């Protein structure tokens, strides 16, 4: 793996983790670890739940 | 600190040289590394060199006269001071006060659910935390403070951050993390008792309302009579809705993808705004007066706070995160490449009197009020408690996130200050003085600023008009609020580096758009948070109001939203119709409110430190608290009691009332009876708010003093820190991974995938 690919991958990983692209994957991994074999939410359902949660429990943005 | 753990758990320590490895389970690799290696000779040399370069840069800024200081020295002085502050002062706080225990699990680990509680890589969390704390505040305050010259603002932004702002953010994060991520309001109730806690919660709510109002006022000031600006910011709404629909129905979870599409559309909207503003219909539709624009923002704020999050708020938040990081990087590159030279003096004549046109009041205390975000911002304590602990992986990372995050915001403030300081000073005052002084036309404005006795050649009306034309506006006279000045300065810097003079107008409107985008995101989110605080507070009163506790009761949610929006909306309307100029009178109130929130946060932190028996180190949060109290209470005192009508709300109120009672129809800046009544009403509200804020904070601080004294006498109530739970994950502490940490990380990575890993989102 060349240096450029590695850096590009790091940047992609960073943006993905910061913006939330990898959140669903983390959720799946978390469920597999803690509740193996139990049903999972689909990605669309997962994000619905996330947004409902944000609706019920808003977090501030600063000035 | 060393409370015994409730559940039986192992604690195995193994020391190799200066490094101790701690395991909580004997079959697992270490979860914590305590590195006691002394500072190496190489590091000593590096930090010594940083200190020397920083000292040279400071000397050049402070003592080099003749107005030709290069902006790069500001960047160097700031970065060197941050490096030293982070390495030595933050480390001292960490060692003496925080004493992080990486063998204790953070709330993120304890409650991990793959959704809102998620141990997150420290570098990613740094980005999250920074995006949540930084907004328009650090961009606007330093611009307004430039009225006093660049030196006082620079010193306060850098030293204020190192000794006050970062300390607050860091320590609030620490105490919240050890209390399962509790919010500031809850911690105030737990630590200060019922009265202090209730006062803190009411104060937080009242402070949020004034913050939202003034931020909205900044947007109105930037967009009024500017069809290009209004068009591009209006386009963010359909763009955000498109992104929301895309994420909900087309490709859920592809957040960066949709954000990238959004940013491209947004740039398209800014670029096409010039054409739209040039057409008859465009100028017709999008040229809005301040009052109309205020109503638009009020309606928007209400709608945004009751619409579902996925539809508008979440996608807009993605856009603003993307823009924030991108634009700030762009500006830093611009300043380093263009290397502009200061036009502002180190100290202006307004530093020594209280007659400045941008904001009233003398350097002490009002400079420290005007620059709140960037040096010390109480609002951050709402992010550091509650939001960030839910994502924090390890206690030892709090220094990077809390202290380091605020240093970064301080750097943003320094760049904003530089951007304002490189503008022609006559132009600066033409943009920032209220219309009562400049008289709204380029000719009257030129006459006014030439009479101020500024350095440099006088300006003509034609030059002011040309400056406006160069950024695609009809006029830039009295565009108060800081945002247009910053946008003007940014277009000055960025067009030299990217695109030349033809892109100047684009960069100006790009800057206006992103500031408005941040502020509207804050207004959305802030209205929601304030609504929840309000319904929670009302529900505590009991009776039929208890129903408000149920968040799915829509009627209750709407009613509370209307109340919150009515609160900030009425202050906003008051500001835009004020003949004295809204920013001039309201911005100090905004700063006071923000700093008083910091006083509440620092009081809670100081009480916790004393209760823990760390009285010897209580000065670390105690000194910024004392300074903050002196500044804010002096400012409040002057706003309430000053006999100078420019400064004291009540003196102004009674003067105008006497004029009205004497049957006068014009007095001072009020040109007719309506304006006269407006001043009487506004000064009454502003004066009352000043009193309310100050009284609430005094109650909180007194409650804190009582608690602290009790604790010192050994009769204090118990600390509400939660019992530690042993950690089962690992994560490096600082930005750069040490070799010992790399070694341990390898052991964790070698474990079978089913095992509790460290952070499962690493790049490999």
- Beta strands across the sheet bearing B32-35: B12-16, B19-23, B32-35
Sketch the domain layout of chain A as residue ranges. 3-56
ipTM > 0.85? yes
pLDDT at B9: 67
> Do the Cβ atoms of B256 and A62 come within 8 Å?
no
Q: Record the tokens describing residue B308, joined without a space.
A: 């579902």
Give the separation between CA A14 and CA B617, rounded to whole angstroms.
37
Alpha-carbon gap: B656 to the closest alpha carbon of chain A (Å): 33
Residue A53 has its nearest CB partner, among B116, B120, B124, at B116
Residue A17 has its nearest CB partner, among B211, B253, B761, at B761
- Sign of the torsion angle spanned by Cα atoms B213, B214, B217, B222: negative
Alpha-carbon gap: A17 to the closest alpha carbon of chain B (Å): 7
In the predicted structure, residue B482 carries a pLDDT above the cut 90: yes
In the predicted structure, residue B3 carries a pLDDT above the cut 70: no
Q: Which residues of A touch B526 (CB under 8 A)?
A: 60-61
- State the virtual CA torsion across B58, B370, B504, B429 in degrees, nearest 10: -100
**Of the candidates B7, B9, B31, which has an alpha carbon nearest to the alpha carbon of residue B21?**
B31
Residue B669 CA: distances (Å) to CA of B376, B443, B615, B674: 33, 20, 52, 12
pLDDT at B732: 96
In the predicted structure, residue B241 carries a pLDDT above the cut 60: yes
pLDDT digit string (tens) for B622-655?
999 999 999 999 999 999 999 988 889 999 999 9
Q: CA geometry: angle at B605 spanning B134 and B533, to 5°?
A: 60
In the predicted structure, residue A49 carries a pLDDT above the cut 50: yes
**Residue A45 · residue B347 · CB < 8 Å:** no
Q: Which residues of A touch B254 (CB under 8 A)?
A: 21
Q: How many CB atoms lie within 10 A of CB B504?
A: 19
With tokens 């709204």, the residue in question is: B440
With tokens 């856009």, the residue in question is: B319
**Of the candidates B753, B358, B371, which has an alpha carbon nearest to the alpha carbon of residue A63?**
B371
> Do the Cβ atoms of A47 and B134 come within 8 Å?
no
pLDDT at A1: 65
pLDDT digit string (tens) for B200-238?
989 999 989 999 999 999 999 999 999 999 999 999 999
**Residue B115 · residue A53 · CB < 8 Å:** yes
Alpha-carbon gap: A39 to the closest alpha carbon of chain B (Å): 14
Q: Record the tokens describing residue A19, joined without a space.
A: 């913006």
Q: Record the tokens describing residue B281, joined without a space.
A: 């219909």
- Lowest mean per-residue pLDDT among A45-59, B211-225, B640-654, B711-725: B711-725
**Of the candidates B153, B624, B242, which has an alpha carbon nearest to the alpha carbon of residue B420?**
B153
**Confidence band for A22, pLDDT divided at 50, 70 and 90:** very high
**Residue B745 · residue B732 · CB < 8 Å:** yes
Q: What residue of B is the nearest CA neighbor of A7?
A: B763
Q: What residue of A is the nearest CA neighbor of B306?
A: A55
Q: What residue of A is the nearest CA neighbor of B536?
A: A57
**Residue B13 · residue B20 · CB < 8 Å:** yes
Residue A49 has its nearest CB partner, among B115, B128, B313, at B115
pLDDT at B548: 85
Average pLDDT over residues B587-610: 94
Q: What residue of B is the nearest CA neighbor of A32?
A: B754
In the predicted structure, residue B4 carries a pLDDT above the cut 60: no
> Do the Cβ atoms of A59 and B525 come within 8 Å?
yes
The share of chain B scoring above pLDDT 90, in percent, equals 79
**Confidence band for B6, pLDDT divided at 50, 70 and 90:** very low
> Do the Cβ atoms of A9 and B310 come within 8 Å?
no
Alpha-carbon gap: A60 to the closest alpha carbon of chain B (Å): 6
> Do the Cβ atoms of A49 and B317 come within 8 Å?
no
Q: How many CB atoms lie within 10 A of CB B745?
A: 17
In the predicted structure, residue B616 carries a pLDDT above the cut 80: yes
Instruction: Read off the pTM.
Output: 0.95
Give the separation between CA B196 and CA B500, rounded to whole angstroms.
56
**Confidence band for B8, pLDDT divided at 50, 70 and 90:** low
pLDDT at B763: 39
Burial class (CB in 10 A: 0-12, 13-18, 19+), B513: buried
**Confidence band for B728, pLDDT divided at 50, 70 and 90:** very high
- Whether cis (ω within 30° of 0) applies to the bond prior to B675 is no
To test the contact with chain A by mutation, choose from B255, B525, B568 the residue with the greatest count of A C-beta atoms within 10 A, namely B255
User: Which residues of A sit within 8 Å Cβ distance of B?
Assistant: 9-10, 13-33, 36, 43-44, 46-63
With tokens 């008083």, the residue in question is: B596
Q: What is the mean pLDDT of chain A?
A: 91
Residue B516 CA: distances (Å) to CA of B232, B260, B612: 10, 19, 43
pLDDT digit string (tens) for B122-155?
999 999 999 999 989 999 999 999 999 999 999 9
In the predicted structure, residue B699 carries a pLDDT above the cut 90: yes
Helix axes B255-278, B504-540, angle to 10 degrees: 120
**Confidence band for B583, pLDDT divided at 50, 70 and 90:** confident
H or E element: which one contains B263? helix B255-278
Q: What residue of A is the nearest CA neighbor of B387?
A: A59
With tokens 């109650």, the residue in question is: B699
Residue B377 has its nearest CB partner, among A33, A43, A62, at A62
Alpha-carbon gap: B162 to the closest alpha carbon of chain A (Å): 19
> Do the Cβ atoms of B525 and A16 come within 8 Å?
no
pLDDT digit string (tens) for B735-745?
999 999 999 99
Alpha-carbon gap: B760 to the closest alpha carbon of chain A (Å): 7
**Of the candidates B452, B450, B451, B446, which has an alpha carbon nearest to the alpha carbon of residue B467?**
B446
Q: Which residues of B touch A21 (CB under 8 A)?
A: 253-257
- State the virtual CA torsion across B480, B484, B489, B494 in degrees, nearest 10: 170
- Sign of the torsion angle spanned by Cα atoms B632, B634, B639, B640: positive
Alpha-carbon gap: B81 to the closest alpha carbon of chain A (Å): 24
The share of chain B scoring above pLDDT 70, in percent, equals 97
Alpha-carbon gap: A62 to the closest alpha carbon of chain B (Å): 5
Residue A63 has its nearest CB partner, among B135, B317, B321, at B135
Residue A43 has its nearest CB partner, among B137, B253, B519, at B253
Residue A61 has its nearest CB partner, among B135, B253, B257, at B135
To test the contact with chain A by mutation, choose from B126, B252, B320, B382 the residue with the greatest count of A C-beta atoms within 10 A, namely B252
Average pLDDT over residues B60-85: 90
Average pLDDT over residues B520-524: 92
Give the separation between CA B454 and CA B423, rounded to whole angstroms.
13
Average pLDDT over residues B395-412: 97
Counting Cα atoms < 13 Å in the Cβ hemisphere of B408 gives 21
Q: What is the mean pLDDT of chain B?
A: 92
Residue A54 has its nearest CB partner, among B135, B309, B383, at B309
Q: Which residues of A touch B259 (CB under 8 A)?
A: 19
**Confidence band for B559, pLDDT divided at 50, 70 and 90:** very high
Alpha-carbon gap: A1 to the closest alpha carbon of chain B (Å): 12
In the predicted structure, residue B313 carries a pLDDT above the cut 70: yes
Q: How many CB pairs under 8 A join A and B?
A: 145
pLDDT digit string (tens) for B325-355?
888 889 999 999 999 999 999 999 999 888 8
């Amino acid at each position: 793996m060349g240096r450029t690919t590695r850096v590009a991958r790091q940047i992609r990983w960073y943006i993905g983790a910061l913006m939330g692209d990898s959140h669903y994957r983390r959720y799946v991994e978390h469920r597999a670890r803690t509740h193996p074999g139990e049903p999972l939410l689909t990605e669309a359902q997962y994000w619905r739940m996330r947004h409902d949660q944000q609706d019920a429990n808003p977090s501030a943005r600063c000035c | 600190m060393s409370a015994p753990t409730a559940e039986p758990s192992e604690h195995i320590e193994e020391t190799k040289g200066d490094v101790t490895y701690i395991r909580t389970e004997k079959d697992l690799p270490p979860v914590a590394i305590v590195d006691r290696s002394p500072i190496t000779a190489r590091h000593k040399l590096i930090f010594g060199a940083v200190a020397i370069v920083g000292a040279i840069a400071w000397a050049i800024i402070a003592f080099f006269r003749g107005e030709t200081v290069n902006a790069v020295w500001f960047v160097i002085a700031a970065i060197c001071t941050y490096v030293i502050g982070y390495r030595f002062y933050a480390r001292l706080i960490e060692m003496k006060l925080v004493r992080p225990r990486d063998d204790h699990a953070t709330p993120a680990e304890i409650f991990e659910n793959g959704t809102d509680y998620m141990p997150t890589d420290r570098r990613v969390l740094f980005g999250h935390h920074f995006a949540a704390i930084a907004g328009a505040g650090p961009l606007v305050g330093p611009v307004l403070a430039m009225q006093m010259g660049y030196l006082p603002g620079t010193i306060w932004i850098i030293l204020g951050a190192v000794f006050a702002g970062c300390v607050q953010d860091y320590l609030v994060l620490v105490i919240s993390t050890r209390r399962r991520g509790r919010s500031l309001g809850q911690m105030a109730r737990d630590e200060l008792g019922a009265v202090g806690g209730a006062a803190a919660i009411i104060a937080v709510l009242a402070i949020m309302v004034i913050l939202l109002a003034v931020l909205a006022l900044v947007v109105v000031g930037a967009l009024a009579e500017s069809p290009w600006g209004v068009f591009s910011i209006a386009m963010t709404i359909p763009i955000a809705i498109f992104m929301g629909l895309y994420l909900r129905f087309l490709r859920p979870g592809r957040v960066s993808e949709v954000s990238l599409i959004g940013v491209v559309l947004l740039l398209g909207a800014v670029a096409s705004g010039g054409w739209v503003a040039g057409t008859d219909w465009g100028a017709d539709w999008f040229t809005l007066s301040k009052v109309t624009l205020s109503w638009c923002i009020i309606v928007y704020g209400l709608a945004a706070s009751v619409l579902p999050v996925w539809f508008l708020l979440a996608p807009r938040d993605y856009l603003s995160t993307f823009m924030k990081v991108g634009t700030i990087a762009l500006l830093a590159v611009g300043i380093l490449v263009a290397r502009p030279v200061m036009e502002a003096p180190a100290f202006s004549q307004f530093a020594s009197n209280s007659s400045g046109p941008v904001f009233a009041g003398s350097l002490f205390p009002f400079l420290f009020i005007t620059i709140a975000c960037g040096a010390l911002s109480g609002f951050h304590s709402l992010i550091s408690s509650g939001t960030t602990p839910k994502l924090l992986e390890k206690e030892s990372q709090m220094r990077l996130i809390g202290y380091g995050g605020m240093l970064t915001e301080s750097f943003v403030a320094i760049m904003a200050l530089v951007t304002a300081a490189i503008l022609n000073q006559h132009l600066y005052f033409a943009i920032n003085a209220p219309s009562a002084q400049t008289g709204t036309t380029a000719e009257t404005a030129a006459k006014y600023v030439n009479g101020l006795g500024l350095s440099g050649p006088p300006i003509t009306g034609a030059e002011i008009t040309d400056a406006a034309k160069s950024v695609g506006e009809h006029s830039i006279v009295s565009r108060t609020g800081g945002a247009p000045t910053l946008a003007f300065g940014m277009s000055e810097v960025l067009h030299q580096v990217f695109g030349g003079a033809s892109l100047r107008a684009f960069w100006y409107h790009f800057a206006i758009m992103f500031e408005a985008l941040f502020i509207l995101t804050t207004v959305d989110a802030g209205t929601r948070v304030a609504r929840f605080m309000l319904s929670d507070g009302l529900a505590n009163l009991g009776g039929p109001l208890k129903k408000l506790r149920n968040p799915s009761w829509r009627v209750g949610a709407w009613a509370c939203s209307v109340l919150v929006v009515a609160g900030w909306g009425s202050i906003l309307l008051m500001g835009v119709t004020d003949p004295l100029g809204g920013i001039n009178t309201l911005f100090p109130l905004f700063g006071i409110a923000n700093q008083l929130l910091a006083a509440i946060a620092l009081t809670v932190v100081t009480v916790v430190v004393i209760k823990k028996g760390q009285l010897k180190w209580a000065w670390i949060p105690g000194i910024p608290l004392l300074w903050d109290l002196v500044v804010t209470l002096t400012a409040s005192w002057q706003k309430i009691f000053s006999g100078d009508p420019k400064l004291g709300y009540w003196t102004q109120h009674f003067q105008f009332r006497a004029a009205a009672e004497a049957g006068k129809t014009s007095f001072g800046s009020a040109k007719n009876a309506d304006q006269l009544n407006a001043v009487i009403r506004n000064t009454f509200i502003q004066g009352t708010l000043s009193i309310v804020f100050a009284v609430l904070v005094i109650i909180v601080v007194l409650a804190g003093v009582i608690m602290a004294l009790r604790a010192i006498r050994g009769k204090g109530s118990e600390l509400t820190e939660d019992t530690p739970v042993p950690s089962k994950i690992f994560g490096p502490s600082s930005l750069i991974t040490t070799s010992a940490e790399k070694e341990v990380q390898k052991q964790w990575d070698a474990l079978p995938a089913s095992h509790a890993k460290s952070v499962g989102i690493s790049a490999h």
